[in-house]
Structure 1
């Protein structure tokens, strides 16, 4: 069983711990927060648990792997420290702001003989294996993948505040936070596109509220739509020469229905995940415990492809993070 530590005390960390407990592959041992009282309040749910507000002391604690769920722009420095301390690292998506940061972390992990994972949960969903098998003998003509959700931070933004999720300093925006899901789905199903672009509704700091992108493959395009100031209700369609495959969502997939050109329908057998993060935490634990370099490099290659595509899309829209200028 892997000893697990947590950086970040938001709701996403609670969800990750729930999945880890379901997996029975992790034992939670420590939590870090900038404020000790915050770490203690978080730890009450999981006691006994070591709590820290000092990162130097935290890295010396007895754990194997750390889950980092701090604000996006902080991931890079914390991941570097973790790897240097010989800890495996799971970084909540988006793991890093740009390809330079990601490449640095991957190289550092190799040097220190530890693993780095980007926690992009939908990439690991078992539903994609079913979808891949169904599409294997079909000609792909294109796809529309969307993920937009009205942000709980919109009230603050409209009130004149600058929440982290809409901040260039913290590498925020709709594409980074939500658009990463449809991009991961496209790369899981179709591989890396030859080109990508994005147009967006942007704030004065260039960060996007919503936008539409295009992943360009040799024989088809995948449209990407994302937003944090509205909700999307119809999330995913894949077009083939034989018909259209409709998915109920781009993550947490529980339904996939193929409608042929004659109107007849075929329902794929999809086993919805018990927990949205369960498949990913099991994949990470398996790779670490079995030293499975084949699976590990598959995950790394996907993370590299997604990070590069997101960077291309941001550049085409003129979305500039402070991390890009370092």
Structure 2
């Protein structure tokens, strides 16, 4: 069983730890937080009292096998590097880093240290996502797609009050694209590959990051329209189009329903989608399989594919940010 340490004590960390424990592949072993009280409060329901407030001491713990990072986006790069330099495998919440150069550096370091490095883009690991992959039309038959993920953040109330919470702060690599847009970009790249070009039309909030935007990914024979935002709510389905059929999904970040409309028969058919009770359990299992089976060619090929997808996604997102002049401190390094 993998000994798990965590950085970050927010709700997403709870969700991952619950999934990791449910997978029976991990044991929560230690918690890092700048505040000891926060770490102890997080660990109490899990019966874990080993906490650290010094990051070097935490990543140096010999009993840890893998570290899960869910700190503010801008901290991911340095924390990931530090963990890998101390021989730890790393699972880092999306977006894994702020720039494509940071990603390339961390991946190279992980290979040098013989560690595994995973971006926790959970949607591409889920069974329902893979089911859609199986029923996709051939690329030459696709004529377009529309994906949407837009959800109002309560933190935007603080922006309207003149404050700058982390998720809307350029200093912490925030914004709609980085927080929610990454899911729709991941879906497009995982299903259709690297686009020939990408365009972003965004509206900024007073802090200087994007609050809402529309992305167009241009492929050889079709376009994919992506909508994302954190200053409003969208309830639109996501769809993939061919001349013969339309695949209709409730979402692409977490697929709970799949329908296929046949144009000639003018009717819908339902494709079984079975979302897990623990929404992050699929990725937890996949990451554990790669770590514990380093000689398995299938798992290692899957790992390399995830890295390629991650690199493509981050290259696209960096280009999109540059188009709308959303600038992070990491861009200046």
- Sort the TM-score into its range (normalised by shorter chain): over 0.9
Per the alignment, residue 15 of structure 2 pairs with: 15
What secondary structure, in the 3-state scheme, does the structure 2 residue paired with 1:324 have?
helix
Aligned to 2:44: 44
- What's 2:304 paired with? 297
Q: In structure 1, how many angstroms separate the alpha carbons of the residues matched to 2:267 and 2:48? A: 56
State the 1:192 CA deviation.
1.1
Shift of 1:272: 1.6
Asked if residue 324 in structure 1 is aligned to residue 325 in structure 2, the reply is: no
Q: Which residue of 2 aligns with 1:268?
A: 271
| Number of corresponding residues | 326
1:153 pairs, out of 152, 155, 158, with 155
1:244-276, CA deviations, whole angstroms, 9 ceiling, x for partnerless residues?
111011122111111122421111122222221
CA RMSD of aligned residues (A): 1.2
Tell me the residue number matched to 2:87.
86
Partner of 1:25: 25
State the alpha-carbon separation in 2 of the partners of residues 89 and 46 from structure 1: 21
Residue equivalent to 1:127: 128
The equivalent of 2:238 in structure 1 is 236
Instruction: Tell me the secondary structure at the aligned position of residue 30 of structure 1.
Output: strand
Separation in 2 of the partners of 1:148 and 1:6? Answer: 28
How does 1:216-231 map onto structure 2 within 5 Å? Answer: 216-231=218-233
Q: Deviations over 1:127-163 (max 9, x none)?
A: 1222122124571111001100000201111111100
Residue 288 (str. 1) matches residue 291 (str. 2): yes
Aligned equivalent of 1:309: 316
Asked if the contact 1:197/1:317 (under 8 Å) is kept, the reply is no
Distance 1:141 1:148 in 2: 24
Counterpart for residue 252 of structure 1 = 254
Mapped to 2, the partners of 1:84 and 1:205 lie a distance apart of 34
* Residues 167-209 of structure 1 deviation map (CA, whole Å, 9 limit, x = unaligned): 1100000011000111111111111111111011113443100
Matched with 2:103 is 102
Confirm or deny: 8 A CA contact 2:147 2:225 kept in the other structure: yes
Does structure 2 retain, via aligned residues, the 8 Å contact 1:3–1:64?
yes
Look up the SS of the partner of 2:153 in the other structure: coil
SS at 2:133's partner residue?
A: helix
- Cα distance in 2 for partners of 1:37, 1:130 equals 43
In structure 1, the gaps of 5 or more residues are: none
Q: What is the DSSP-based 3-state SS (H/G/I as helix, E as strand, rest coil) of the residue aligned with 2:170? A: coil
* TM-superposed deviation, 1:83: 0.4
Aligned to 1:277: 280
Q: Contact 1:7–1:32 at 8 Å: present in 2 too?
A: yes
1:83–1:114 contact (8 Å) kept in structure 2: yes
C-alpha displacement of 1:106: 0.2
SS of structure 2 residue aligned to 1:234: coil
Q: Any conservation in 1 of the 2:30–2:48 contact (CA below 8 Å)?
A: no
| TM superposition shift of 1:60 | 2.0
Instruction: Report the secondary structure of 1:45's partner residue.
Output: helix
CA distance in 2, matches of 1:9, 1:26: 17
Checking the alignment, whether the CA contact within 8 Å between 1:147 and 1:235 is kept in structure 2 is no
